[in-house]
Amino acid sequence: MPRPKKERLVRRPPLYTEFKPAGVMRSSLNQIILGLDELEALRLADYLGMDHSEAAEEMEISRSTFTRLVEEARRKIASFLIEGSNLSIEGGNVHFRGNLIKCHDCGHMFNTSFDVTVTRCPSCGSENLIDLAGGFGHGSCCRGHNHHGRR
């Protein structure tokens, strides 16, 4: 029986979850699914330039697991760019350290923790808010997963 996968910590939900070539119908494209943990590995290694040991510590996984994640993510991104596929970001055994809220009325986006309930946009006062972590089925399950609070 295989070991259960360890939960990976991701800083916050992504702003965008679908990418495709312009002018091509999504239905005609092959789909590539990039896990939330793979996106986080790319963010830490390639966007922030962290070394694998430091990035693995941030995600609370082993360095070898982090290396496998980032290599698989790079392979998927290369395939997406070269083949012109539809890239979807979803899934993975993750918890978010924080949340990102977007106001549907004014477009203002702001970071928040899961311990704070936000009901109004701090910019325009609207109650029409989009909970990006909630879109991935997360929220209350992520409370208490902000061990380091870094980055």
Looking only at the bridges linking them, the beta strands covering 99-103 and 129-131 are antiparallel
When pLDDT is averaged across residues 63-78 and rounded to a whole number, the result is: 97
Q: 8-95 with 97-142: one CATH topology?
A: no
Least confident of 58-62, 77-81, 82-86, 147-151: 147-151
Cβ distance 8 to 91 under 8 Å? Answer: no
Q: State the amino acid at position 69 in one-letter form.
A: L
Q: Give the C-alpha separation, 53 to 42, whole Å.
A: 14
Among candidate residues 146, 122, 124, the one with its CA nearest the CA of residue 133 = 146
CATH architecture of 97-142: Single Sheet (2.20)
**Which residue do the tokens 């091509």 mark?**
24
Helices 52-59 and 63-83: crossing angle in degrees, nearest 10, is: 100
Q: Where are the domains of the chain?
A: 8-95, 97-142
Q: Could you read off the pLDDT of 97-127 as tens digits, one per residue?
A: 888 899 999 999 998 888 888 899 999 999 9
What tokens does 140 get? 């209350």
Class of domain 8-95: mainly alpha
pTM attached to this predicted model: 0.83
Cβ distance 87 to 101 under 8 Å? Answer: no
Q: What angle do CA 11, 132, 105 make, to 5 degrees?
A: 130
Among candidate residues 147, 113, 137, the one with its CA nearest the CA of residue 36 = 137
